[in-house]
Amino acid sequence: MTPVPTAIALLPGDGIGPEVVAAARTVLDATGVPLTFAEGEIGWECFEARGTALPDETIELVRSSDAALLGAVTSKPPDEVGPGRGAFRSPIVGLRRALDLHTCVRPVRALRAEDGELDLVVVRENTEGLYAGLDFRPTPDGLADALGLGPDLRGDDVAITARIVTRRAVRRVARAAFAIARTRPARRVTLAEKPNVMRATGGLFLEETRAVAAEHPDVEFAWENADAVCARMVREPARYDVLLAGNLFGDLLSDLAAGLAGGLGLLPSANLGDEAALFEPAHGSAPDIAGWGVANPLAAILAAAMLLDRIGEAAAAAAVRRAVDDVVADARTLTRDLGGRASTAQVARAVAAAVSVPENPETRERRVP
Ligand code: NAI
Ligand code: MG
């Protein structure tokens, strides 16, 4: 019986995005998992050519695929877009909203001995918090009136970003965190929040996470102040297993963890919804090195491994991670951010050559996303 191939959307984007997506594709091909690929346009070059960074057909492509792999996109602040061009909106934020990709998962693992013992997963709320887009400058009069803002807190010299937290969003991201903790030996979730300062939003986040913790008596739960987590992560990284956080804190904590674990070039990221899933390296488009063929593809390759897990190809996913570990440990074929001299394509070929999937199709099981 020939297995039905899984449909993968590839969104190379711009900058180093196309280079690292091509590298990930090389490795996916080496696993022998039956996949079909369709490419979609996204990002800055797409905006320049078509006036939108996220065409509707790209959203539809991701929606109708089993999973998507994104490279990177360049985001421009309004003053760099130029007049009369319309607003450049982050297409990644747009995709997260359009497809309700509510949970961001970033496993961070130190691959080199010199980077210590860090092995944690940041699970970040992906749709609200301070990144919900409730952003005002100046504050509209109605809102300023409702907030009771005096004249000194109005006008163009005052800006407000509002943080929104809903019980529903906390519940689903917390449930994802506890589900991930159950698959890990330490079975521990730590919430990074600031409930004593942001009593309303932080308080609700903590309250609902506690309720979810009560559903998971087999998983240890604790909460810590988000700032304290930063200091402890540097000094005592093994303290953390699954780290749950809101949108902003999760963004910062995952970059901090990545920095400790050898740099952004190694960190994959998943945006998970109930209907769709988008995998990407956590780094950006790296315009300073784009086109040179020297970008580290390992983050994109590890993102592809997460994609394989999502589509039920756990054995292939594990094989890709082992291959990455081997190439890093061997240290002969690394890009220059890791102290090597290899090109993006050389690293991809080295990982592809190291991939060895146990030949037992019976273990392949299609998981409902
Ligand atoms: P960046 O991650 O693109 O680059 C930061 C630094 O890390 C640069 O020195 C870069 O050369 C290096 N770097 C990043 N990825 C690397 C890799 N795979 N191999 C070797 N070195 C690597 O972040 P930056 O500079 O803040 O942003 C550049 C652009 O990317 C901006 O337009 C930003 O908006 C966008 N961006 C896009 C993201 C995405 O597509 N998800 C995420 C973050 C930023
Ligand atoms: Mg970030």
Q: What is the DSSP string of 351-368?
A: HHHH----S-GGG--PPP
Question: Which atom number of ligand 1 is nearest to the Cα of residue 16?
Answer: 18
CA of residue 215 relative to chain centroid, distance: 26
Hey, what are 262's tokens?
């050898």
Instruction: Identify whether the C-beta of residue 91 lies closer than 8 Å to the C-beta of residue 53.
Output: yes
CA distance 246 to 332: 39
pLDDT of residue 112: 80
The DSSP element (H or E) to which 327 belongs, if any, is helix 314-330
Pocket of ligand 1 contains residue 284 by CB under 6 Å: yes
Q: Cα separation of 199 and 211, whole Å?
A: 17
- Residues 6 or more apart in contact with residue 179 via CB below 8 angstroms: none
CA distance 289 to 293: 8
Ligand 1 atom nearest to CA at 74: 32
Domain annotation for the chain: domains and CATH numbers? 1-102+274-369 (3.40.718.10)
Kind of pairing between the strands at 277-281 and 268-272: antiparallel
User: What's the pLDDT score for residue 367?
Assistant: 46
Compute the distance between CA of residue 189 and CA of residue 184 in angstroms, rounded to an integer: 11
> What's the confidence (pLDDT) of residue 113?
75
Cis peptide before 185 (omega within 30 of 0): no
Neighbour count for residue 235 (Cβ, 10 Å): 7
CA dist 68 and 65 (Å) reads 7
Please give all residues whose CB falls under 5 A of ion ligand 2, grouped by chain where several chains appear.
251
Q: Measured from the CB, is residue 283 less than 6 Å from ligand 1?
A: yes
- Asked whether 241 lines ligand 1 (CB < 6 A), one says no
- Residue 244: burial class (beta carbons within 10 Å; 0-12, 13-18, 19+): buried
Task: Note the pLDDT of residue 116.
Answer: 76
pLDDT in tens, the chain (369 residues): 566 789 999 999 999 999 999 999 999 999 999 999 999 999 998 998 988 999 999 999 999 999 999 999 998 776 777 766 677 778 988 898 899 999 999 999 988 877 778 899 999 999 999 988 899 999 999 999 999 999 999 999 999 999 999 999 999 999 999 999 999 999 999 999 999 999 999 999 999 999 999 999 999 999 999 999 999 999 999 999 999 999 999 999 998 998 888 777 888 999 999 889 999 998 999 999 999 999 999 999 999 999 999 999 999 999 999 999 999 999 999 999 999 999 999 999 999 999 998 876 555 554 443
Q: How far apart are CA 346 and CA 89, in angstroms?
A: 35
Q: What is the pLDDT of residue 319?
A: 97
Ligand closest to Cα of 255 equals 2
Q: 265: CA distance to ligand 1 center in Å?
A: 9
Report the residue count for the chain.
Answer: 369
Interatomic CA distance for residues 104 and 21, integer angstroms: 19
At what angle are helices 314-330 and 17-31 packed, to 10 degrees?
Answer: 120
pLDDT at 81: 75
pLDDT at 368: 41
> What DSSP state is assigned to residue 127?
S
Report which protein residue has its CA nearest ligand 1's atom 36.
284
- Nearest ligand 1 atom, CA 280: 41
343 within ligand 1 shell (Cβ under 6 A): no
Strand partners, 105: 123, 270
Question: Can you give the pTM of this predicted structure?
Answer: 0.89
CA-CA distance, 262 to 259, in Å (whole number)?
6
Q: What share of the chain is helix, strand, coil (3-state, %, to 5)?
A: 45, 20, 40
Cβ of 344 less than 6 Å from ligand 1: no
